[in-house]
Amino acid sequence: MILLTHNRDLHQVNLGWHPRAEELLWQPALQQDKRSENGALNVRYHHQVKAGAVRTLRDLVAAHAPWLRIRYAF
């Protein structure tokens, strides 16, 4: 699974290409602004939201595919 950076410009593009998927990706109540190293303004999930999602994913992998290794790049 790869989670990509998202921002307002991509949001606008994705609304034209994949509006139903964008309904899931663009969640302002769950996200906060983040300035990336290159200076771009992106969004990321609030710490508590991300921690809960990571915990859920790890639990699902442990229950259904324990042979899979989870690696976190950054």
Q: What is the mean pLDDT of residues 39-65?
A: 92
Please tell me which residue, 2 or 36, carries the higher pLDDT value: 36
Position 58, amino acid: R
Q: Which of 17, 43, 41, 50 is nearest to 28 (CA)?
A: 43
Q: Note the pLDDT of residue 5.
A: 76
Q: What is the mean pLDDT of residues 32-60?
A: 91
CA atoms within 13 Å, Cβ hemisphere of 39: 0
Query: Which pLDDT band, with edges at 50, 70 and 90, does 25 fall under?
Result: confident
Instruction: Kindly list the domain boundaries of the chain, sorted by start residue.
Output: 8-64
Which of the residue ranges 20-29, 34-43, 65-74 would you say has the lowest mean pLDDT? 65-74
Q: Note the pLDDT of residue 72.
A: 75
Report the Cα 3 to chain-centroid distance in Å: 5
Rounded Cα distance between 30 and 43, Å, is 10
